Chains A and B, each alone.
Chain A
Amino acid sequence: MTNNIREQISALLDNELSKDEIGQTFDRLSEQKQLRDTWDRYHLISDVIRGDIGERASLSLADRVRVQIDAEPAILAAPKPVKTAPAWVRPLAGTAVAASVAILAVMTAPQLLNPEAKAPSQIAATKVTTPIYAQSASLPSVQNYRLVNSAQYQVQPVTAARPAARWSTQYAGTRWKNLARPATENKLNKYLMDHSEYATQGAVSGVVPYATFVGYDARR
């Protein structure tokens, strides 16, 4: 694909092309699948940049474009609105039961980095009895935040034999701890994404919510 046609598509989206050029671009679009894919992407990104995605987001834009060409080549007709499934629920439902990869790195890295970490389930299961405002005597001090000394990085000897199943790349597991219910996970994911909208204002953790989502069920 030439840069020229990319530019034309881009210009077309920005309403900068002359009538002749529009016709030409549509002709070429209709011929080549690759170009139509490009159209899809430009259309998508262009919409997003303008902030007017929504009404024009459609099932297979390129194919609709092809249909539109015969009828009215010079008008960027807005396809009828898509079916509006709840945005998160549908796509995530398909990936609800996550399969995890227990690759060597995953098995060992956390131990190397954080040998004394307790399983989160233990934390979650603890009933809260202490007043939360109390200053804990064991609250981490500046010392805890200093960079870990090299001793902590020593490899722990493997003493017990590990079942082969745990090393498999396909063992079943979910990302939310203590949960094995896909529907509940979906609901939580939906909440988490919504929450991200509010929590991303800080650079401290700004990238995390989306990273969590992008990485969600990364092992399939």
Chain B
Amino acid sequence: MLKSCRAWVGCLLLGVIPAAVAGDAEKSVDAWLKQMVESVRTLTYEGTFIYLHNTQLETMQITHTANNDQEQERIFSLNGAAREVIRSKGAVICILPDVKAVTVTKHNKGNRKFPSVLPINLSHLSDYYEFHILDKARIADREAIVIGIIPRDTSRYGYRLYLDIDHALPLKTDTINEKGEMVSQIMFTMLRIDPSIQSVSPSMHGKGDYSWFRSKPAQKVSPSTHTNWQFKQLPRGFQLQVKTKRAATSGGQEMEHFVFSDGLATISVYVEKAGDENGLHEASTMGAVNAYGAQVSGHQITVVGEVPAQTVRTIANSMEYSTTATLQ
């Protein structure tokens, strides 16, 4: 009795804290993240978010519908060229009114090694990240709980997630580098969760004379088991997830692709025969994405990922070519 009186007085002093919120704070980080992953995929919502990376600011609109396990998503740029990307079960469509072009990329079944929902496995991730419930906040006029995903070393970024109290949708996501600086922020300014939102349709500004391009399935992607490449020093926790070889096409040459992940961060390594003068020979960065390119044993290597610059560089520098292919 005394206890509840105190709690009541405390509430009065601190301002009104709805009981539901107080209760939610006790929900485990694990439960929050699981709900987030589920909500992002299964809820129907639309909203406007801003995206700040380095010094660039963009505004975008997102519509996500989920009916009978059929997901569709449209992201539409509200400033500059009215670009849009439509994601669906079957394909990714990019509409580029600035160049009057539409590109269609069909998902290659062989490509979909990853489940569409990340099975957040905290016991595995906790070797590389700490998880904390940090705070409460208000974003887009919604109450949010703030969760910190803090890396245990400098090989990966950290994240600060502001999850909607009711649905666990990420209302704001800060990506934080090894120095504790925010390298990118995504924040909703408006969000409406409503099952009656109609399925997405493209707007196609200035219709009619678009050129259509499709990425041909001719570029055969096949899982490969053997490779001539060895990775001598991978950053801690990053494991090879996918390894594919793509046959040469008219527009490109044979390419090997390695995907590494620590469970949250993902890194791609692309290997082609050297010769294309447009290869990357140094470090570059765009927002939270870092890239590093180098030539090794007559091959152009390009490493890309949402990880610190040092991590992509380390992976590139650790690659060795041997004349005999080995099982990885």
Q: Give the contacting residue for B104; candidates A57, A60, A128, A139; CB below 8 A.
A: A57
What is the minimal beta-carbon distance from A178 to any residue of chain B, in angstroms?
5
Contacts of B161 in A (CB 8 A): 204
Which of A13-21, A37-45, A70-78, A154-162 lies at the binding interface?
A: A37-45
Q: Are B160 and A198 in contact (CB-based, < 8 A)?
A: no
B178 on the A face (CB < 8 A): yes
The answer to whether residues A177 and B52 also contact, given A82-B214, A144-B180 and a CB cut-off of 8 A, is no
Given the known A-B contacts A53-B90, A84-B218, are A184 and B278 also in contact in the complex, defined by CB atoms under 8 Å? Answer: yes
Q: Is the CB of B85 within 8 A of A135?
A: no
Is B86 in the interface zone, CB < 8 Å from A? yes
Q: Which residues of A contact B140 (CB under 8 A)?
A: none
Q: Does A146 contact B (CB under 8 A)?
A: yes
The complex places the Cα of A110 from the Cα of B114 at a distance, in Å, of: 35
The interface-forming segment of B20-28, B94-102, B222-230 is: B94-102
Contact across chains for A205 and B268 when beta carbons are under 8 A apart: no
- Which A residues touch B236, using CB under 8 A? 132-133
Minimal Cβ-Cβ distance residue in B for A85: B213
Any A CB within 8 A of the CB of B202? yes
Q: Mark B252-288, 1 if CB is under 8 A from A, else 0.
A: 1000010100001010101000001111101111111
Q: Decide if A128 touches B310 in the complex (CB within 8 Å).
A: yes
Which residues in chain A, 176-220, are within 8 Å of chain B measured between CB atoms?
176-179, 181, 183-184, 186-188, 191-195, 197-199, 201-208, 210-220
Question: Which secondary structure dominates chain B's binding surface?
Answer: strand
A87 B175 Cβ-Cβ under 8 A: no
| Interface residue A163 (Cβ < 8 Å from any Cβ of B) | no
Most chain A CB inside 10 Å of its own CB: which residue of B85, B107, B115, B289: B289
Q: What is the minimal beta-carbon distance from A151 to any residue of chain B, in angstroms? A: 16
Q: Please, which residue of chain A has its CB at the minimum distance from the CB of B87?
A: A210
Tell me if B309 is interfacial: C-beta within 8 Å of chain A.
Answer: yes
Measured in the bound complex, the distance between the Cα atoms of B84 and A109 in whole Å is: 25
Q: Does B76 contact A (CB under 8 A)?
A: yes
Do B58 and A215 touch (CB < 8 A)? yes
Q: Does A90 contact B (CB under 8 A)?
A: yes
How does the 8 Å CB contact mask read for A23-57 relative to B, with 1 for contact and 0 for none?
00000000001000100111011011111111001
Partner of B118 from A140, A193, A197, A201 at Cβ < 8 Å: A201
Chain B residue numbers with a CB within 8 Å of A220 are: 80-81, 98
Whether B114 and A201, one on each chain, are in contact in the complex, defined by CB atoms closer than 8 angstroms, is yes
A168 interface contact, C-beta 8 A? no
Q: How far is the CB of A100 from chain B (nearest CB, A)?
A: 7
A51 touches B75 (CB 8 A): no
- Chain A residues within an 8 Å CB radius of B286: 175-177, 188, 192, 212
A7 close to chain B: CB less than 8 A:
no
Contact A145 B134 (CB under 8 A): yes
Name the A residues within 8 Å of B215 (CB-CB).
Answer: 84, 86-88
Find out whether the CB atom of B251 lies under 8 angstroms from the CB atom of A86.
yes
| Interface size of B in residues (CB-CB distance below 8 Å) | 138
CB of B245 within 8 Å of the partner chain: no
Q: Tell whether, in the assembled complex, residue B85 and residue A210 are in contact, meaning their CB atoms are under 8 Å apart.
A: yes
CB pair B56–A203 under 8 Å, yes or no, is no
B189 at the interface (CB under 8 A from A): no
CB atoms of A211 and B186 under 8 A apart: yes
Q: Is A58 an interface residue (CB 8 A)?
A: yes
Whether A5 is near chain B, meaning CB under 8 Å from some CB there, is no
B274-314 vs A, CB cutoff 8 Å, 1 = contact: the mask equals 00111110111111111100000000001011100111011
Can you report 9 residue pairs joining A to B where beta carbons are below 8 Å apart?
A118-B181, A120-B54, A142-B150, A195-B305, A198-B114, A203-B40, A208-B51, A215-B56, A216-B83
Given contacts A91-B103, A101-B80, A140-B176, 14 further A-B contacts (CB under 8 A): A51-B88, A51-B107, A52-B90, A89-B251, A94-B99, A95-B81, A100-B56, A114-B181, A120-B54, A133-B155, A140-B158, A191-B291, A208-B186, A211-B58
3 pairs of A and B residues whose beta carbons are closest in the complex: A51-B90, A218-B80, A87-B215
Instruction: Give the A-binding residues of B (Cβ under 8 A).
Output: 36-37, 40-41, 49, 51-58, 60, 62, 70, 72, 75-77, 79-81, 83-94, 96, 98-99, 101-107, 111, 113-118, 130, 132, 134-135, 137, 146, 148-155, 158-161, 170, 173, 175-176, 178-182, 184-186, 199-202, 204, 207-218, 233, 235-236, 241-242, 249, 251-252, 257, 259, 264, 266, 268, 270, 276-280, 282-291, 302, 304-306, 309-311, 313-314, 317
